[in-house]
Chains A and B, each alone.
Chain A
Amino acid sequence: MKDTGVKLFLRAAIARAYPRIWGAHRELSWIFFEIIVPLINTSAFVFLYRALGAPEQYIGFVVLGGAMATYWLNVLWMMASQLYWDKQEGFLELFILSPVSLMAILLGMGVGGLYMSTIRAGAIAIIGTLLFNVQFNGDQWGFALLVFFVTMFALYGLGMMLSSVFLMWGREAWQVSLALTEPVFFLSGMNFPLSKLFTTVPGVVSLFSALIPVSLGLDALRQLLFPGQLQGVFSPAVELGIEAVLGIIFSVAAYLLLKRMEHLAKVEARLSLRWQ
């Protein structure tokens, strides 16, 4: 008997997550490129702070930011633009032809991507901590873990929402992904305390920054892991609440947008349109 309903949805999600989870260990060169290279970038900012004579806790902020950057890159390149890649490679047509929901595909991509990124981010955090002698305070690790998971829920919800928008695009998808890399690193305060950004940029930019789940999530994590060493934008509890609300909004919006964009893409014959 064939699977239907929830069982089919879950099987499709597991099937899509499987290559990502398996691939996270299989391709050693990927591990090199995705751990060593971000670590080198993080090191550049660490040395910049050292050259400026910054207090030691800033080194910890940069290392934590470098680890969180891995999740954003994963969401951007392996969630948001994944359906664009699938279209280029001809897989998207197959997904649409099969009886599974695209939401299940996105969920599988998200779970697999989260696992993949956690290995990379963990390695960056551990190596960075050892290399630069970062002192974390683990007194509130349970709360920090909760903040982390809720941030990931919001972040991957945003990734699912973006991927539905990217479904419509051709080469713009590639350009948008490129354009969302460094600007988001800037807006989310990956390399400096978010409160410093909020006090220097106009309010509308701060609002835009707050809508990126990594921003307030990272700010809360820094407050919990480096207590008393920085002024947060809000308290960690408030930031946790905002992340939870963002997560729900992004997930619902992803579902609705996906339906809409899939329909539009069919109407405008964009599902199999390549190289445009």
Chain B
Amino acid sequence: MIETATKPNISVSEPGSVWRENLRTFRIASWLGWQVESNWADPFVFFIFTILRPMASALIVVVMYNVIAGGNKGNYFSYLFISNAFFVLVTQTMAGLAWTIFDDRENYKMLKYIYTSPARKFAYLIGRAVGKVGIGLFTVIILLLTGILFLGLHIDWARVEWGWLLAYFVTGMLGLGGLGIILAGVALVIARHGASIGEVTAGMLLLFCGALFPPDVLPAGLKQVSLALPPTYWLEGMRRAVNGGIMTNISTVNGQTVTAPISPFLAQFSDWQLLGIVTGSGILCAIGSFLFYRWVENQAKERGMIDRLTGY
């Protein structure tokens, strides 16, 4: 007797199924990203390796500051340390998203299989980077705690503006994520440098987005570049929220004590204006990155770049 084949139950047009698929892909990709990041060592070794790099970066700027300013931990020290700590998130988010493409395509050679599966590619990309962003957030907290406990960083918890901190964090991550997805798109269609493009961009932002010094210090042309970058405003917002207001420096001019903002240019913006800039640029980056990635993905498919190996 011939058995009748059962038709597979594929519910492509069910209402909400697209969102469910996106969420499922995101969840599985997040788990996968976390495993790739963490399961090469036991938790203690993993913890040490996670904080070693950002801690060393923080110590470099602490020693540089101490060499010049001595033991006097003024407000500029807080500016430097807080910015440097939050800059970890810039690196982790942007480099993490771009690295995903290189890692899956050229290292594990899995990207072609992801593309031939029903997984939602955009949700997969974001989910895959969640592990790195989570590690980045954890590192920021560890850095700030280390700064407070051992390195002379002063944060007045009563002055921290938690609402602003949350608002800046969420909107800023939207923008950083968008920029990271754009980099991931670029990594998809360039040869050889896909691995380093995230780190390279983050390195450039170290100069331009006021992580180590206020944009006012830069020469005129470079200052304009700095002011055109959303992370410059995001970092200023995060600093203000943690400090409970605009960061100021106290100096002595002609025998008189003068208090002035560390960045006079950024001090011109009110909190709401700053949040407006961070939110506006974040939405723009998110929408732009979605459209850009869709376009670049099609280009990669047309040119046969999804499974291309260029590493050497």
| Chain B proximity of A60: nearest CB distance (Å) | 14
Answer whether residue B155 sits at the interface, using C-beta atoms and an 8 A cutoff. no
Answer whether residue A170 sits at the interface, using C-beta atoms and an 8 A cutoff. yes
Segment 262-312 of B: residues with Cβ below 8 Å from A: 311-312
| Chain B proximity of A47: nearest CB distance (Å) | 5
What does DSSP make chain B's interface, helix, strand, loop or mixed? Answer: helix
| Chain B proximity of A15: nearest CB distance (Å) | 16
Q: In the complex, what residues of A have CB within 8 A of residue B114's CB?
A: none
| Chain A proximity of B76: nearest CB distance (Å) | 7
- Report Cα–Cα, A186/B59, bound state, in Å: 7
The bracket for how many chain A residues form the interface is: 35 or more
Please judge, given known A-B contacts A47-B207, A182-B53, whether A52 and B69 are in contact too, CB under 8 Å.
yes
Please judge, given known A-B contacts A48-B212, A185-B56, whether A43 and B207 are in contact too, CB under 8 Å.
yes
B207 adjacent to A183 (CB under 8 Å): no
- Report Cα–Cα, A179/B211, bound state, in Å: 21
| Chain B proximity of A174: nearest CB distance (Å) | 8
Q: In the complex, what residues of B have CB within 8 A of residue A275's CB?
A: 107-108
A185 adjacent to B60 (CB under 8 Å): yes
Number of interface residues of B (CB under 8 A): 39
Please judge, given known A-B contacts A29-B193, A33-B200, A47-B213, whether A181 and B67 are in contact too, CB under 8 Å.
no
A175 adjacent to B49 (CB under 8 Å): yes
A47 adjacent to B218 (CB under 8 Å): yes
Please judge, given known A-B contacts A197-B63, A275-B108, whether A52 and B53 are in contact too, CB under 8 Å.
no
Segment 21-69 of B: residues with Cβ below 8 Å from A: 40-41, 49, 52-57, 59-61, 63-69
A-B contact pairs, 22 of them (CB 8 A): A33-B193, A41-B207, A44-B207, A45-B212, A47-B212, A49-B64, A58-B67, A89-B311, A171-B40, A172-B41, A175-B49, A178-B53, A181-B53, A183-B55, A185-B56, A186-B57, A186-B63, A190-B60, A191-B64, A196-B63, A196-B66, A200-B63
Binding site for B on A (CB under 8 A): 27, 29-30, 33, 37, 40-41, 43-45, 47-54, 58, 88-89, 170-172, 175-176, 178-179, 181-183, 185-187, 190-193, 196-197, 200, 275
